[in-house]
Chain A
């Protein structure tokens, strides 16, 4: 049974790409958020199994949104998908409570993480 996924990214083309990658593995996209603020609201409304979260977004960025989601639901499963490829961001994401950190340019690496999350 596929997972219910919420995609969070301010770029519509990235959301499209991530959707294609995830739907190819028979997961279901239940919503798309364009900002951290939308992500927080949609998470509350949709209660997805998994969230893919960009970091660099205007208004509320990915780290702030993830923190707020995890405060409301410590069991939330968030995988960061970001352009930033310094290892320090990956460590910060895991310290926050994320289930994984994937570089957007190798977005297919998210699929095994989704299975294990």
Chain B
């Protein structure tokens, strides 16, 4: 249910009992003899409505007070229900989403924002999760290509040396390229990726690195057999 629809329902839940209260206060009693409020100040004498002596209509007052109290009770119950609904459907998920967004902003890309309830709040949570997934994807691309560049450097330097000593500036440039790559990779390492372990020059499944396997499915034992026997 959308957030707007929730607020509209809550407003109705408060407005309807309040309207009923107002209706009862202004309504004509069953005996048809004037309204509740005028009955306090008029009475029937000689067949006509006359301004009353100061004789309070105790029964009518009691009825009105009871109706007001009942109306107030209903309003209070509705307010309590609305607060509970606000807490569970809106405030709670927003709080969890704020925590997850903070964790992701701090580099913990394995954190998850709530994507339930299925309203604008859930959609925001799902978008935050997608942002984390996409960021992880970019970082893994960076890791892969910088690792590959490091490998190429490793091959290039001996080839250069084999052809005669490379000039000092070439050596210096190669060294600087290597340092730049290491700096970029150090930055990538500051992120905690979901189910990924960044090893020297390669990307592994974190579960595989821990001796578990990439698949959490029901036949995980079969997959372990597959991995072991394929080696």
Given the known interface contacts A13-B134, A13-B137, A83-B196, the answer about A67 and B144 at a Cβ–Cβ threshold of 8 Å is no
User: B12-71: which residues lie under 8 A (CB-CB) from chain A?
Assistant: none
Cβ contacts under 8 Å, A10 to chain B: 133
Judge if B203 is at the interface, Cβ distance under 8 Å: yes
Judge if A96 is at the interface, Cβ distance under 8 Å: yes
Closest-CB distance, B57 to chain A (whole angstroms): 69
In contact, A67 and B230 (Cβ under 8 angstroms) = no
Judge if A20 is at the interface, Cβ distance under 8 Å: no
Report the stretch among B81-89, B177-185, B219-227 that lies at the interface: B219-227
In contact, A95 and B217 (Cβ under 8 angstroms) = no
B119-137 near A? 1/0 per residue, CB < 8 Å: 0000000000010011011
Judge if A25 is at the interface, Cβ distance under 8 Å: no
Judge if B215 is at the interface, Cβ distance under 8 Å: yes
Judge if B214 is at the interface, Cβ distance under 8 Å: yes
30 pairs, CB–CB < 8 Å, chain A vs chain B? A11-B137, A12-B133, A12-B134, A13-B134, A55-B214, A56-B214, A58-B194, A60-B217, A61-B195, A63-B214, A63-B223, A64-B218, A67-B215, A67-B219, A83-B203, A84-B203, A86-B204, A86-B208, A88-B227, A88-B230, A88-B231, A89-B208, A91-B226, A92-B227, A95-B226, A95-B229, A96-B226, A103-B144, A104-B141, A105-B144
In contact, B223 and A56 (Cβ under 8 angstroms) = no
Number of chain A residues whose Cβ lies closer than 8 Å to a Cβ of chain B: 28
Judge if A68 is at the interface, Cβ distance under 8 Å: yes
Query: What is A's interface to B at a CB cutoff of 8 Å?
Result: 10-14, 55-56, 58, 60-64, 67-68, 83-86, 88-89, 91-92, 95-96, 103-105
**Closest 9 A/B residue pairs (Cβ):** A64-B217, A91-B230, A63-B215, A11-B137, A95-B226, A105-B144, A83-B140, A92-B226, A13-B134
In contact, A61 and B204 (Cβ under 8 angstroms) = no
Closest-CB distance, A79 to chain B (whole angstroms): 16
In contact, A85 and B130 (Cβ under 8 angstroms) = no
Judge if B95 is at the interface, Cβ distance under 8 Å: no
Chain B: CB-nearest residue to A16: B134
Chain A: CB-nearest residue to B136: A11
19 further A-B contacts with Cβ under 8 Å, apart from A11-B130, A84-B203, A91-B231, are A10-B133, A12-B130, A55-B214, A56-B214, A60-B216, A61-B195, A61-B215, A62-B214, A63-B214, A63-B223, A64-B215, A67-B219, A83-B196, A83-B203, A88-B231, A91-B230, A95-B230, A96-B223, A103-B144
Cβ contacts under 8 Å, A85 to chain B: 144, 202-203
Cβ contacts under 8 Å, A86 to chain B: 202, 204, 208
In contact, B217 and A84 (Cβ under 8 angstroms) = no
Cβ contacts under 8 Å, A64 to chain B: 215-218
Cβ contacts under 8 Å, A68 to chain B: 217
Closest-CB distance, A90 to chain B (whole angstroms): 9
Closest-CB distance, A71 to chain B (whole angstroms): 9
In contact, B112 and A58 (Cβ under 8 angstroms) = yes
